[in-house]
Structure 1
């Protein structure tokens, strides 16, 4: 299946190739220095692909070279793909952002959670960041619903902003299933991914037939040796489609997904969301409040976070336009869109690096991408 991003080149799309050459050289250096085995990067503008390149190895044992067919674990980049399914339910008239989750999942009201809204959930204000969903829930929908409904509060909903690494989006999965009657993975695929022509590029739940394409994900190397993470690298882990951190994709596919967002909800002549919806969900709903997990204001939208005006930013690049929005994957990746220039960016790698290295790396890589943007 072809991706609806016609291939072009940086110059034709108003991008200075020199910063992009430095960007690719930096990734090559990181691979050569042993920070991660492999990576992909993609940049697009105005519906066309300016750059798509793979680096290094997708797997180290056995040795598998990363190529255009390799799909990488996206970790929390998955959150925005999952959130897009919620945006579509709102546009379908089946949900409102200010609905209490318990309106659609009545048993979720247990343990003081009756008033938590969809907006609070997806802006990391729900109050249960540490809640755990066991692996048994990956294939048992009834157990997943019971587990999520039994979550206990750690603080009063709305009183803090604190990143929920997994629990908020497991709750979102239960909400999607309650409203649609479908497996959340199927709904996300059918409504978000497939209409954009990305069914061969982005997966929330990697099918058996696609598992050979998956790059392994590794821990920080010790004495130059990479150790594969578990359970991420198991067939069950790849198939689970963990809604807050288990999707797989190519950088090209994620650059295309963010092109859809940059272009107000449409890609390649196919509209999946309205411009007003994209404008709304990418606003800053948490103001200058500090995200207590991240240690700085995250300018959280209903899914992605935005650059804003704070001097320091995670992943999106310090020199990014304030309206730039996106999300990262722990220690390994970042994807974003700049709606003012029409540029989208995706970087995926296969090592869960330290936060110090990852944050510095992404600021450099994203800044180089922003530095390439010229006026048209």
Structure 2
């Protein structure tokens, strides 16, 4: 199947090319400064691709490497970047389809479908609370050594204990909530959550070669390594992520892999009410509902500001400061980020979607400032029409 976004150019899609050129220049500047080895960016509008570029290196040769050591590998248009928490919205979209199929309601307690999840006082936690980060167990973890054993994962998530009363706070759950969502998908479909996401969300949109939740071994060579910031001038590979088990696991809240054009296309579908290239995966009313602000102006205690949580993505809203989506974004703009490295979003009012990936996990202060600049430049390019 051909990629679902036909290639176009900014002018043809009503975009000013000058801010997009500045956006690319900023990415190149950051690579020259040693902020990250490589990156990708994509901008799309009205079902067509306005910009898709790869920069720098997907993998960096070890410092002082000689002989048979792996050389640098340039990033190209097939390079897959670790999406980190951008994966959350892909997993959430699979949950939305279960609601459309009549298998689930957003206000259902999770324990209605996974009875043993009720342990330790979790019986009343709803799907909506789970996916708006109000579940009450933000620090819970699924150990890496069991991630491929889904029976063990289910036992682990059912044994999560509460840190505060569900619904009483908004506090980002970095990984725990979406492991629960993955087990919910499996309980209701009888399928491995990775297979369900591929067959119900990614393949129908024509994105099965650009976005992965659970990266097959045949595609591991496309994966960029992910690094910590440089030490003594050298990027430091992250031990927890750069290995086959992590690639295969498809951690539902932070382990997907994708190209920037793939996620720009995914957000084209969401921003257009659930359809792309004549293929509909979700109803427009579903998208209107899941991108509402369910947490108001309540402070997310992990982020330190209101995040305007939808049932998966967050939205810009009216707060003076915005995380990742760009300060000048339209209030209805929605999306998600990946820790220290990436952000993807859609503006349904203009038909524009955006995706940026890099392969260094920077600190949040620098990353959030970087994303405000890049996202704002994309918004500045939007002309009426």
Q: TM-score, normalised by structure 1?
A: 0.99
**SS state at 2:379 partner:** helix
Tell me the residue number matched to 2:3.
Answer: 3
Aligned residue pairs: how many? 376
Tell me the residue number matched to 1:56.
Answer: 56
Offset from partner CA, 1:183-204 (integer Å, 9 cap, x none): 0000001101000000000000
Offset from partner CA, 1:152-200 (integer Å, 9 cap, x none): 0000000000000000000001111111111000000110100000000
Whether 1:218 aligns to 2:227 is yes
- CA distance in structure 2 between the aligned counterparts of 1:135 and 1:349, rounded to whole angstroms: 23
| Offset, 1:85 | 0.1
- CA distance in structure 2 between the aligned counterparts of 1:147 and 1:3, rounded to whole angstroms: 38
Q: Which consecutive aligned stretches of 4+ in structure 1 deviate over 2 angstroms post-superposition?
A: none
Matches within 5 A, 1:252-271: 252-271=261-280
| Offset, 1:136 | 2.5
Whether 1:122 aligns to 2:131 is yes
Correspondent of 1:141 among 128, 132, 150: 150
- CA distance in structure 1 between the aligned counterparts of 2:299 and 2:305, rounded to whole angstroms: 5
| Offset, 1:141 | 1.2
Q: What is the root-mean-square deviation of aligned Cα atoms in Å? A: 0.5
Matches within 5 A, 1:1-376: 1-61=1-61, 62-376=71-385
- CA distance in structure 1 between the aligned counterparts of 2:271 and 2:171, rounded to whole angstroms: 27
Offset from partner CA, 1:288-333 (integer Å, 9 cap, x none): 0000000000000000000000000100000000000000000000
Which stretch of structure 1 is more off in the superposition, 229-238 or 312-321? 229-238
| Offset, 1:223 | 2.0
**SS state at 1:285 partner:** coil
**SS state at 2:343 partner:** strand
**SS state at 1:130 partner:** coil
Tell me the residue number matched to 2:66.
Answer: none
**SS state at 2:234 partner:** coil
| Offset, 1:137 | 2.3
| Offset, 1:2 | 2.3
- CA distance in structure 2 between the aligned counterparts of 1:2 and 1:252, rounded to whole angstroms: 13
Offset from partner CA, 1:110-169 (integer Å, 9 cap, x none): 000000000000000000000010113211111111000000000000000000000000
- CA distance in structure 2 between the aligned counterparts of 1:214 and 1:233, rounded to whole angstroms: 9
Which consecutive residues of structure 1, in runs of 5 or more, have no partner in the other structure? none
- CA distance in structure 2 between the aligned counterparts of 1:279 and 1:227, rounded to whole angstroms: 42
**SS state at 1:373 partner:** coil
Which stretch of structure 1 is more off in the superposition, 229-238 or 336-345? 229-238
Tell me the residue number matched to 2:65.
Answer: none
